[in-house]
Amino acid sequence: MEERTEIASLGEFGLIDHLTRNNETKNASTILSVGDDGAVIDHFGRQTVVSTDLLLEGIHFDLSYTPLKHLGYKSVVVNLSDIYAMNAVPTQILLSIGISNKFSVEALDEFYEGVYTACKQYDVDLVGGDTTTSQRGFIISVTAIGEVAPDKYVTRSGAKENDLICVSGDLGAAFLGLTLLEREKMIFESTGAQPDLENQAYIVGRLLKPEARKDVVEYFAAQNVLPTSMMDISDGLSSELLHICKQSNVGCVLYEDKIPFSEDMKEFAYKLELDPTACALSGGEDYELLFTVSQADYEKINQNNGFSIIGYITAPSEGQHIITRGGSRHQLVAQGWNHLKK
């Protein structure tokens, strides 16, 4: 039988000491890390970018099919993705958790193993946080801090007429991963049959262990490209593109046949009788970067196989449209995931 250490046996400070006992500092900007009333950070003349996310059990994740190590990793990555979406480099995170007594110290060790794996992967320091008791499941709050050269940060509001609309990677796979896991959970709960994930490692991995696109921001720096607007795709392509259009006061034309899918995703969507385009437009949790660039940067973007140019920005009076494979034109609507709607 696995060993189980009750959290209460350590106390709050003992638990924090235990979870941060192997915490290492990687960034020169981290002057003072975990262990005091606050962390001290000095970005040496660079501008500071800050973003925060709250993840709630039963809303943002389901522990019946989410391994704790993966959850720790993902909790960090989804926050770092927001920093990269500002064209900045993440340097520190703060992590606070609310836990019920169903969790043991060993379970939290597993979660923190994922957290530290992500910190190592992305060269980020864990510099503080808090732990508390939760009456309603697992609560995770991560704040990410990053740095950017003065005035090189990119917002959602800078897209201009005739700019190219681009995305990194492929879209829609995380939504299919969620669909598959939810289906198998339902079958297991009603029949007790063991889950069959049909060897769909790619789409399940896109949901349970996403990556933040550090490489995209590095490519922009190396090629001297400054996107005019950017955001990460957490709520579906249509929803994010409409955010950019609204905040930049522009219209857009999106081409269905330019939206990038992985072969695994496409085949599995057809098997489930789902439209891959709908999965990409409305699915979410891909954590790819959606960005606009001036046409002058076309060659630099086009030569990178990891990018797809999927449309262009128009005058606001032209509205927001998608042109289907068949050539018909439809208004682009946001059907992305909205956790505030029932």
pLDDT in tens, the chain (342 residues): 578 888 778 877 787 788 788 778 888 888 887 777 777 888 889 999 999 999 999 999 999 999 999 999 999 999 999 999 999 999 999 999 999 988 999 999 999 999 999 999 999 999 999 999 998 899 999 999 999 999 899 999 999 999 999 999 999 999 999 999 999 999 999 998 888 888 999 999 999 999 999 999 999 999 999 999 999 999 999 999 999 999 999 999 999 999 999 999 999 999 999 999 999 999 989 999 999 999 999 999 999 999 999 999 999 999 999 999 999 999 998 875 444 343
Residues 235 and 102 in one domain: no
Q: With respect to residue 336, please indicate whether it lies within any of the assigned structural domains.
A: no
Residues 128 and 219 in one domain: no
Residues 278 and 178 in one domain: yes
- Please tell me the distance from the alpha carbon of residue 75 to that of residue 73, in angstroms, as a whole number: 6
Q: With respect to residue 159, please indicate whether it lies within any of the assigned structural domains.
A: no
Which residue in the block uniquely carries the two structure tokens 């996107």?
A: 227
Q: For the chain, what is the domain count? A: 2
Q: Give Dmax over CA atoms of the chain in angstroms.
A: 66
Q: With respect to residue 2, please indicate whether it lies within any of the assigned structural domains.
A: no
Report DSSP state, residue 288: P
| Domain around 60 | 7-148
Q: Pick from 98, 124, 148: which residue ends a domain?
A: 148
